[in-house]
Amino acid sequence: MSKKAPSESQLNTTEVDDLLVLCEEVMRATPEGAIRFIEPAPGVLARAKSKQHNIVFGRRGSGKSSLLRKTAADLTIDRRPIAFVDLETFKGHTYPDVLISVLIKTLGEFEQWLNGAAINPATKTSFWKRLFGTAPKRPPFHKANTAALKSNLRVIIADLEAQLRAPETSTKQTKITVANELATSGQFSAAATVPGLSSSATANIASKSNGTKEEQASYVSHKVEYLHQNILRFQHFFKELSILSDGPSFLILDDLYHIRKADQAKVIDYFHRVAKGNGMWLKVGTIKHRSQWYEHSDPPIGMKLGDDAREIDLDMSLEKFETLKKFLKQVLDNLIAEKPPLSIKELINPTAIDRITIASGGVTRDFVGIFSGSIAVARNRGPEHHRGPKIGLEDVNLAAGDYDSNKREEFKLDSAEDREVLEAAFTKLVSFCTETSKCNVFLVSQKLTGRVRESIDQLIDLRMIHPVKSRVTLKKGAAGELFEAYMLDLSQYTAARKVHDFHMVDLSGHDKDEAIRRSSLIYSGT
């Protein structure tokens, strides 16, 4: 442990160096990070582990992957077959190859699980204690039966890999020799087209002097048709897995929004059909307004919320500020506790914690990232600065401004084909807040529809604006009309605060609800 003089700030200790490294590590969800999981609301983890299909919604960094990693860890300790598939791997893949690729990865993950967690005895502490911190109570699976199921699984995976390598359309020929001699010759042809499959067949029959007939058949084979034809095969595997494990299995598909939006419902639909009635439950993590998990078509495609799956929403808004701050402070407390003798009291002023909470918009990863940046800002100015030896408000403001580059980069990655439209919409919104209304909070009518509404929804998911209050009425005018309040991300107006008459609503203050009931804050996007 490093020594420091009584007047020296904890910010300059080697323990803070270690804390910064830890903060960088926890900003990405990993299997090892499951031990640090903090439940954002009571019952969330229990729902994620339940025997029902779930779609977990949340902005980048809100804790979707952490929840799903913790779910996977807890189910593994209970010896429940589990596969965790990160769909970012398949970004840019097109259908049906994307589905075949995800199937291969899924079955490969189940194979790995069967090789380890299924058969490792509870006494093998090098496996259980190292990865999960505890040992299972259920006994290992029957080895011979497990080996037989794994053998079948390898055949299925090899077949899928062959399909993935094959071209989308292939021509095959079959020759049949018949002993009967024909006195005539002729030709027959037929063609048929069905949804998802085009096929044609030709047959040539000719008389042979040696009394044989040669028949040739050619047809078009599609990967989509292969998937249709083999769904019973995949269902049978999961039924057998359920019997072997004496219970359900779970498939976690994380970050659905990374695959093409046009393909998302198709991928979900296929796994939903495989799972139905076969002891497998789907847990899908994604960003709400960047995803399409269900299509109203004939027949419907995907999973419909309420009927087929239940929603788990991890987005914590600034509306419940004290609850949000308590949760985020607990996250910070736990990280600091890993690096004694550091203490939150010696590192940061209470008002600065409020400001980081506001700057994060309720996103856990952004909270940790801005906290790390605030340490760097405070260190650079030194403990003798008039702001004192701890992280203060202005340190957070500057760190939030610096953090904007991270958000902008992820904005580009996640907005994809909508980037130009969303950038234009955001520029217009920033101009309204900083030049027209001169306030960090703006109002949107609950009746608003169309492109402006869609852009606002997507900008929320991209963490450039943040929900503040779901129901607002004006002090004067617009009788009976309801509005929603949003805050422009702090990084966009740290400089604007110095502009004359710019009003920054303090969302930690008791008068915030009254401060936003002004008609001048209404944004229509026109």
- Omega within 30 of 0 (cis) for the link into 340: no
Which tokens hold the place of 293?
Answer: 């998990």
Locate tokens 């403990």: which residue?
383
Which tokens hold the place of 102?
Answer: 């995800």
pLDDT of residue 495: 56
Contact assessment for residue 443 and residue 483, using Cβ atoms and an 8 Å cutoff: yes
Cross-strand bridge partners of residue 189: 202
Torsion on CA atoms 174, 175, 180, 185, rounded to nearest 10: 90
Q: How many CB atoms lie within 10 A of CB 369?
A: 24
- Omega within 30 of 0 (cis) for the link into 140: no
Burial zone of 450 (CB within 10 Å; 0-12 exposed, 13-18 middle, 19+ buried): exposed
Q: CATH 1.10.8 residue ranges in the chain?
A: 10-23+321-415
Contact assessment for residue 229 and residue 39, using Cβ atoms and an 8 Å cutoff: no
pLDDT of residue 187: 44
| pTM for this prediction | 0.85
Question: Strands 483-488 and 465-472, how do they pair?
Answer: antiparallel
Q: How far apart are CA 131 and CA 9, in angstroms?
A: 36
**pLDDT under 50: residue ranges of the chain:** 1-6, 181-209, 220-221
pLDDT of residue 225: 92
The CATH number of the domain covering residues in 10-23+321-415: 1.10.8
> In angstroms, what CA-CA distances link 321 with 243, 328, 355?
47, 10, 11
pLDDT of residue 128: 87
Which tokens hold the place of 226?
Answer: 């292969």
pLDDT of residue 188: 39
Contact assessment for residue 272 and residue 256, using Cβ atoms and an 8 Å cutoff: no
Class of domain 41-165+228-313: alpha beta
Q: CATH 3.40.50 residue ranges in the chain?
A: 41-165+228-313
What long-range pairs does 224-228 form, CB within 8 A, spacing at least 24?
224/96, 224/196, 224/197, 225/196, 225/197, 226/163, 227/96, 227/99, 227/100, 227/270, 228/196
pLDDT of residue 197: 40
What percentage of the chain's residues is helix, strand, coil (to nearest 5)? 50, 20, 35
495 phi and psi angles, rounded to 5 deg: -80, -35
Q: Where are the beta strands (DSSP E) in 338-454?
A: 441-445
Phi-psi region of 277 (alpha: psi -120 to 50; beta: other; left: phi over 0): left
pLDDT of residue 283: 98
